[in-house]
Amino acid sequence: MTENQTWVTEFILLGFPLSPKLQGFLFGLFSLFYAFTLLGNSIILGLIWLDSRLHTPMYFFLSHLAIVDMAYASNNVPKMLANLLNKEKTISFVPCIMQMFLYMAFAHTECLILVMMSYDRYVAICHPLHYSVIMSWRVCTIQAVTSWACGSLLALLHVLLILRLPFCGPLEINHFFCEILSVLKLACADMRLNQVVIFAASVFILVGPLCLVLVSYSRILFAILRIRSGEGRRKAFSTCSSHLCVVGLFFGSAIVMYMAPKSRHPEEQQKILSLFYSLFNPMLNPLIYSLRNAEVKGTLKRVLWKERSM
């Protein structure tokens, strides 16, 4: 092992083994999706900033979700697009490690932000009289900072454990970006500590938040069923439906990725699911919130009407 071990300066990203024509088509398609991702999330941020009626805890967390989605996509997609056109698909060691850290930090943070959003809806529907006290701006700020800090620290832990490993052999990452499991396969040392930490982090950052979200929405459902007026029920459902769609997409794809039975080509399956995380999910989130949320649609109409009248 020591004879084959080398100092790593760069990796090769294998990406998608496709024909040049198909790669060119995917470059155009993914570029369009990436542009929609940036545009949609920027519109959500702009509407929240422009309309004082959206300056509430729910939209405070939604703005953080939009920032995470744009950063998440921008971390992986530009390099993937460049590799679809270039024959040399190399990435230097330091940018690879940085990409890995940011990918995990944004993913962990999004999990925690979604939990905070579900807790906000729980307090709003189950304890409406105490909502302004429980979800004060101080509490919301602490929750947001905690989400970003925990996500970043957990990602930093993974990176530090990766850096202690030697790499040897063909330094080819069978992925379109530096994903942690794909990079670990290139290490030529005992990886049991890394695997244990990854499993423990998955329980903490995926299973734990999902259970909290399910508990929150089960309580919300019971509270909604006790509402006598049909209008009250409709309004309560409308405030939660968009968030439930986003939670279903994010955690559903994560469950498929980590809990579904392995196929004959698990690495190719992992690439597709990672593509969903990196590109499709951030693109769909603003569409869901704009189509399913009456307040966002109302603000968008008012802004467009104001622009026309000017």
Residue 292 has pLDDT above 70, yes or no: no
Return d(Cα 117, Cα 66) in angstroms, integer: 13
Find the mean pLDDT for residues 175-202: 87
Residue 160 has pLDDT above 70, yes or no: yes
DSSP class of residue 5 equals B
Can you give the pTM of this predicted structure?
0.87
Q: Report the DSSP pairing between strands 90-92 and 10-13.
A: antiparallel
Residue 7 has a pLDDT of 66
Strand order across the beta sheet in which 90-92 lies: 90-92, 10-13, 172-173
- CA angle in degrees (0–180, nearest 5) for 289-295-298: 105
Domains along the chain? Answer: 10-308 (1.20.1070.10)
Compute the 3-state secondary structure of the chain and give helix, strand, coil in percent, each to the nearest 5: 80, 5, 15
Give me Rg for the CA atoms of the chain. Answer: 21
Phi-psi map region of 169: left, alpha, beta (phi>0 left; psi -120 to 50 alpha):
left
The pLDDT > 70 percentage for the chain reads 85
Mean of all residue pLDDT scores within the chain: 84
Distance of CA 288 to the CA centre of its chain: 15
Residue 156 has a pLDDT of 96
Of 48, 53, 236, 204, nearest in space to 115 by CA = 204
Of 166, 142, 154, nearest in space to 107 by CA = 154
Q: What is the pLDDT of residues 86-113, one digit of tens each?
A: 888 889 999 999 999 999 999 999 999 9
Q: Report the DSSP pairing between strands 172-173 and 10-13.
A: parallel
Position with higher pLDDT, 302 vs 107 = 107
Q: What is the pLDDT of residues 57-75, one digit of tens each?
A: 989 999 999 999 999 899 9
Instruction: List beta partners, residue 90.
Output: 12
238 band by pLDDT with thresholds 50, 70 and 90: low
3 band by pLDDT with thresholds 50, 70 and 90: very low
